[in-house]
Amino acid sequence: MNRRSGQVYDEWLVLRCQDGDASALPILIDRWQRRLVNYARLATKDADLAKDIIQDTWLNVIKALPSLRDPARFRVWLYQMATNKISDHFRHQEVVSKHIEYSKNNATHVEKDRDREQLEREEAVSYVLQQLSPDHRTVLALYYLGEFEVEEISHILSIPKGTVKSRLHHAREQFRENLEVENE
């Protein structure tokens, strides 16, 4: 398997953390923070909640990092931890089926000089993503934003590879249909 240099760098940072090098942890967090928050934001539809969940995730990661046996699996392990925290939130709040309504107030602030047409396309894509089921939104986020392989997503979500493939297929179809309706 040909590993990307980023994966090797993460593995090295994990090993440094496990050896007690306190300077490696902030680097590791900085490398993954934005991606995790984006993933949690897609799952929760709430930017502030996503940040809170990821903060809790990092606390668990810091506690459990010394026991991670295979630093090469850090990326998958990290997303498993985040996914578990997201699931815990919904379980405890008993709002799995009643997600917070997408609000433009929670949209990320964009630079003023950004092309208006580009902004409208991004808003349409974001809106369409929010219309997907949590399972479909999660699998799309992991596959396209997290750049995980099907097998890795299977481990993160603790579901069979066939289920991941099926969800990806249906999520793409639903996304495409919703986007066409949105663009009409």
> Which domains does the chain carry?
1-99 (1.10.1740.10), 109-184 (1.10.10.10)
**Which parts of the chain register pLDDT below 50?**
1-2, 95-113
As given in the structure block, the two tokens for residue 134 are 């949590």
Instruction: Please give the pLDDT value at position 56.
Output: 95
Neighbours of 154 (CB within 10 A): 18
Q: What is the pLDDT of residues 87-122, one digit of tens each?
A: 888 776 654 333 333 333 444 444 444 566 666 666
User: Residue type at 36?
Assistant: L
DSSP 27-87: HHHHHHHHHHHHHHHHHHS-HHHHHHHHHHHHHHHHHHGGG-S-GGGHHHHHHHHHHHHHH
Instruction: Please give the pLDDT value at position 121.
Output: 67
Instruction: Please give the pLDDT value at position 114.
Output: 52
